[in-house]
Amino acid sequence: MPQPIPFVRWCGLAAMLGGTLWVIGNVVHASKPRGCIAEECAIRTMRETGALEGILMLLSLMLFVVGAAGLVVVTRRSGSFGKMGAAGVLIGAFGVGVLVIAGLIQALFFAGDFPLMPGFVIPGVLAMILGSAVLGIAVLRSGVLPRWVALLLVVGTLAMLGFNEQTWRTLMAVPFGAAWVAVGYVLWSGVGTPSVLPTARVR
């Protein structure tokens, strides 16, 4: 079993921490009273994002970027990153960037009540989901990580499609965080990685 390079190990730690903070933040948010959806908001208040979970989400998103960098290094060194992997990284990074910028604007200038937030969150989350799913498929095809880890990343990402921060479906984000914990552990430890990296390229 090859030993992971130091940079990849640090990226793995970042991914594990990011996934843990992501899960905690969403569980905290889900513990709040149910909010409203569409017409319900005329008679019911929305569930607002508090400072704690807002900070946890921002930190986890930035840590995911670091974790993804380690994933890219491992896959590229195998010669099997390809156009699919590059597209996943670019799309996912765009989505994370939009979410981080929107979160900072809301926290710094609007005291947690940025009226244009949905216009940032919806495309940002969709881009993050698409990018992570494409990256997960590229990693799955490359074979540089255990198959179950790559599958967990894809499934956890697709589970985000059912996410709604106003209801119990906030918890649909938990598998995404758990997937990044698993990815991070494998990057940090090298456990389950193949002894001979494949040479075929993913296209």
3-state secondary structure the chain: CCCCCHHHHHHHHHHHHHHHHHHHHHHHHHCCCCCCCHHHHHCCCCCCCCHHHHHHHHHHHHHHHHHHHHHHHHHHHCCCCHHHHHHHHHHHHHHHHHHHHHHHHHHHHCCCCCCCHHHHHHHHHHHHHHHHHHHHHHHHHHCCCCHHHHHHHHHHHHHHHHCCCCCHHHHHHHHHHHHHHHHHHHHHHCCCCCCCCCCCCCC
Give just the sign of the alpha carbon dihedral 94, 61, 156, 198. Answer: positive
Q: What is the pLDDT of residue 196?
A: 37
Mean pLDDT on 90-116: 80
Mean pLDDT on 94-111: 81
118 versus 189: the higher-pLDDT residue is 189
Look at residues 55, 100, 75 and name the one whose alpha carbon lies nearest to residue 183.
75
User: pLDDT per residue over 26-48, tens digit each?
Assistant: 999 888 888 877 777 777 777 77
Q: Would you say residue 4 has pLDDT above 60?
A: no
Q: How many CB atoms lie within 10 A of CB 171?
A: 17
Instruction: State how far the Cα of 115 lies from the Cα of 178, in Å rounded to an integer.
Output: 31
pLDDT tier at 192, thresholds 50, 70, 90: low
Q: What is the pLDDT of residue 13?
A: 95
Instruction: State how far the Cα of 69 lies from the Cα of 9, in Å rounded to an integer.
Output: 11
Q: Would you say residue 145 has pLDDT above 80?
A: yes
Ramachandran area for residue 168 (φ above 0: left; ψ -120 to 50: alpha; else beta): alpha
Q: What is the pLDDT of residue 152?
A: 93
Q: What is the pLDDT of residue 59?
A: 92
Q: Would you say residue 80 has pLDDT above 80?
A: no
Residue 161 has which token pair? 């499609």
Mean pLDDT on 105-124: 76
Delimit the domains of the chain by residue range.
6-33+48-189
- Mean pLDDT rounded to a whole number for the chain: 82
Q: What percentage of the chain exceeds 90 in pLDDT?
A: 29
pLDDT tier at 198, thresholds 50, 70, 90: very low
Look at residues 154, 140, 12 and name the one whose alpha carbon lies nearest to residue 71.
12
